[in-house]
Structure 1
């Protein structure tokens, strides 16, 4: 593909997303909507593919679309400090969620072990624990 010759369908395939994702990103201001020539079709560029892939990678790392928008405003590379602050906040959030998940894991492990050791017609420890909470 040349620099500016993709239709929205080709853009979607190149970026690995569907058409509605592209339209949604445009409505959210994450992706510019190219001008439509009189009687023509909007054309997208390789830079649009790169931008969509950036958005998807950032989402995969846990950034919300609002946070992605903030990062995209800093994409010129001259704002590394601001980007680092956003990433550090996300890292702190991920660590907090991991801590919560570890607590859930430990509780479930204890309940699964208790369930495995119960014999006969007794109250299930998992069910009893959930009823207590």
Structure 2
């Protein structure tokens, strides 16, 4: 099933400019216009859609575009150990971020409790962020 760039973008729930951006970054192929078509439209297939969805999912997991490019290359070379290593590193970074966010949540809860104790004097929430 051949798709236009707009159909490809819609299939991955992204904009056409996102597809073009990924093409400029080398994450997606930029197919040549169909020789039989007059419009010069580029045509994409299911593998292109799967790759675009992979790029979006990997970004959602926190991988950088450079890391995504490496993961794609690792897939082509079947280098699973390196892919696992990269995934473990990303998990470690996510764990650190979750811990940081949990500490921020606890601090905000404490400030909200202190603020709820009364209406007199300076607000502990504002005072905490001023210092």
Give the TM-score normalised by the residue count of structure 2.
0.89
Q: 2: distance between equivalents of 1:106 and 1:41?
A: 54
Match of 1:22 in 2: 19
Q: 1: distance between equivalents of 2:19 and 2:104?
A: 37
Match of 1:95 in 2: 95
Residue 42 of structure 1: how far off its partner (Å) = 1.5
Q: 2: distance between equivalents of 1:100 and 1:13?
A: 35
Alignment partner of 1:16: what SS? coil
Count residues in correspondence.
Answer: 128
Q: 2: distance between equivalents of 1:22 and 1:96?
A: 31
Task: Judge conservation of contact 2:34–2:43 (CA < 8 Å) in 1.
Answer: no
CA RMSD of aligned residues (A): 1.5
Match of 1:115 in 2: 115
Q: 1: distance between equivalents of 2:32 and 2:68?
A: 24
Q: 2: distance between equivalents of 1:77 and 1:36?
A: 28
Match of 2:63 in 1: 63
Q: Which 5+ residue runs of structure 2 have no aligned equivalent?
A: none
Match of 2:130 in 1: 131
Moved over 6 A (4+): none
Match of 1:6 in 2: 3
Task: Judge conservation of contact 1:114–1:125 (CA < 8 Å) in 2.
Answer: yes
Q: Which 5+ residue runs of structure 1 have no aligned equivalent?
A: none
Task: Judge conservation of contact 1:118–1:124 (CA < 8 Å) in 2.
Answer: no
Alignment partner of 1:31: what SS? coil
Would the alpha carbon gap of residues 32 and 127 (structure 1) be closer, same or farther in structure 2, given more than 3 Å must change? same
